Chains A and B, each alone.
Chain A
Amino acid sequence: MLEHLLFNLLQVAVVLIFAPLASGVLARLKEIVQSKRGPSIFQPYRDLWKLFHKDEVVSEDSSWIFRFTPYVVFVTPIFVVLLIPVLTSYPLFFAFMADMLGAGFVLALGGFFAALAAVDTANPYGPMGASRTRMVGFLAEPVFMIVFFTVSFVAGSTIPYIVQQSWVTPFANFFTPSHVLLLLAFLMLILAEGGRIPVDNPTGHFEIAMIDESKSLEYSGRGFALMKWGGQMKFFVLMCVFLNVLLTPWGLAAAQTWAAVLLAIPFVLFKIFCFLLVLVVIESSLSKLRLFRIAEFLGAAFITSVAAMIAQVFLP
């Protein structure tokens, strides 16, 4: 039992440590595709280090929400990590505290506070970005719901540790239409929730066009570092859910030993690297959608997820 608790904390440590690396690798890969050299893959760590050592400026007119939000944004992905399989294929200490739906709600809490904080400072760009994020959020919500319903429908559970087994136990199950369509819908969700390219341009520096970035414009120093790190962890967590629960539940530790669990770390990082390669292809070959086209993009995701559910119903 104690070992399970320690493994669970190890998962948190892995996500804390490697989330900035993932975003650094993604940024570097994108620069390479654009025939540039790009910053080092360790640049996000340097950014965080620098920000933690800077003074923080907080507006006098802002309320407690503004000061409280970075901690919420930072902590919510950590709570989710306790629930999902990052390194092990067997349930750990906190695995049954909440299911995937609960994890989704915990993640949404961070987004909710970030939106509130953006409105709090009355900076003109903050509320605009916040309302846009809410728009993307409420369009993505039904897709999340249908995806989770389909998962529970197929696997008979929404606990991620149980779900990941049901997709591959006879290997033929991997090819059921509901599984593949679900993967497509979830990939589109990751792009939308992570603020990646067809929905939002994460590298843009133009406030008018920002969706996700403009929420943290008012932050500086430690608060900004926490917001950044929290955002990177959220993206890492979404990738872990996609890869370890839905797409490739292989390479996770099956034995309850430290060696097996530590060996799972490079496997998981390799999977994430492969996913980042795919993401770079998607991001480099598509252009950012106009704001009102996002509804159509997420509408397509919704249709895909519903088709996944229908395909499951249609199977005799």
Chain B
Amino acid sequence: MNDATQQLLQNLNALATGLFLLTAFGIVAVRQANACLNLFIVQSLLLAASAALLGLRYGTSHLYGVALVNLISKPIIVPWLLRKTSPAGIYTRREIDQVLDIPISLTIALALVIAAYFVGAPIANAVSAAYRGPNVPIGIAVLLLGAFTLTVRREALPLLIGLLVMENGAFLTGISIARDLGMLVELAIATDGLIIVFIMGVLVRAVQKQVGTTAVGALASLKETATRPETDEASS
């Protein structure tokens, strides 16, 4: 492999990570739950692309396996599971609640990404120069953005996607630092993720059945409604 191809592969990987970051911003800001899910699918495809490109660049066949596992589990099985388990009404709803309005949450997200650079730089310096790349800081940034999604969203499905985005971010960092982790670990993580998605999806369905909504931001009053019948009787 000559220098030009290596440079090209490296830049393509950087491009995949850059777009990966952009999709994370999209997941923070986008209004529809369906668009959120689609962005997550794109993000997972980009993660798989990054793994494959890194594998090609450094000639580690293990990363092809990671790419393949990611390609099957996240963009295909996760959306399928979510659509099977969680109620269909979520996907057709147009607007979803946020604690903050979109420009403010995007500004905070930007600050988080800049913070991630300062967190990521020492970590990137800890590994040898050959392992350094845009993956470490961007992975950490996306991890933080996923956590931020968890705090600002008030709808069950985007919350779940925020969790998965955190996992994606950790994965993106992982594939560049630990390139020979062992296939078993990757497979275990992938199945773990699927089981989490399944359980959460069922939970969302149960919440919707009990409460009639999936806007979990409003679930603080759940305890009061449970006790209300008694007080109603007492007053009447």
Q: A310-B114, A314-B134 are in contact. Are A177 and B15 (CB under 8 A)?
A: yes
| Alpha-carbon distance A214/B12, docked complex (angstroms) | 44
Q: Are A304 and B14 in contact (CB under 8 A)?
A: no
Q: Which residue of A lies closest to B133 (CB)?
A: A316
B105-119 interface (Cβ within 8 A of A): 106, 109-110, 113-114, 117
CB pair A310–B117 under 8 Å, yes or no, is: yes
Most chain B CB neighbours (cut-off 10 Å) among A174, A184, A314: A314
A175 to B6 Cα, complex, angstroms? 13
Q: Does A171 contact B (CB under 8 A)?
A: yes
Given contacts A176-B14, A177-B18, contact A314 B8 (CB under 8 A): no
A73 within 8 A of B: no
Indicate if the CB atoms of B8 and A299 lie closer than 8 Å: no
Minimum CB distance partner of A296 in chain B: B102
How far does the Cβ of B25 sit from chain A's closest Cβ, in whole Å?
5
Contacts of B17 in A (CB 8 A): 177, 311, 314
How far apart sit A307 and B19, CA to CA, in the bound complex (Å)? Answer: 9
- Choose from A177, A299, A313 the contact partner of B19 (Cβ within 8 Å): A177
Closest CB of chain B to A281's CB: distance in Å? 19
Are A316 and B132 in contact (CB-based, < 8 A)?
Answer: yes
A247 within 8 A of B: no
CA distance A245 to B4 in the complex (A): 23
Contact B18 A308 (CB under 8 A): yes
Cβ < 8 Å to A, chain B residues 125-147: 129, 132-134, 137-138, 141
* Residues of A in contact, count (CB < 8 Å): 27
B60 at the interface (CB under 8 A from A): no
**Given the complex, which residues of A lie within 8 Å of B15, measured CB to CB?**
175-177, 180
Please tell me if the beta carbons of B102 and A299 are within 8 angstroms of each other in the complex: yes
Q: List 30 A-B contacts (CB under 8 A).
A: A171-B8, A172-B4, A172-B8, A172-B10, A175-B14, A176-B11, A176-B14, A177-B14, A177-B15, A178-B18, A180-B15, A180-B18, A180-B19, A184-B22, A299-B102, A299-B106, A300-B29, A303-B29, A303-B106, A303-B109, A303-B110, A307-B21, A307-B113, A311-B14, A311-B21, A314-B17, A314-B137, A315-B134, A316-B132, A316-B133
Chain A residues in contact with chain B, CB under 8 A?
Answer: 170-178, 180-181, 184, 295-296, 299-300, 303-304, 306-308, 310-311, 313-316
In the complex, the 10 A-B pairs of residues with the closest C-beta atoms, listed nearest first: A177-B18, A172-B8, A311-B18, A172-B7, A175-B11, A316-B132, A314-B134, A314-B137, A172-B11, A177-B15
Q: A176-B14, A311-B138, A316-B129 are in contact. List 8 more A-B contacts (CB 8 A).
A: A172-B4, A180-B15, A296-B29, A296-B103, A303-B110, A307-B18, A314-B134, A316-B124
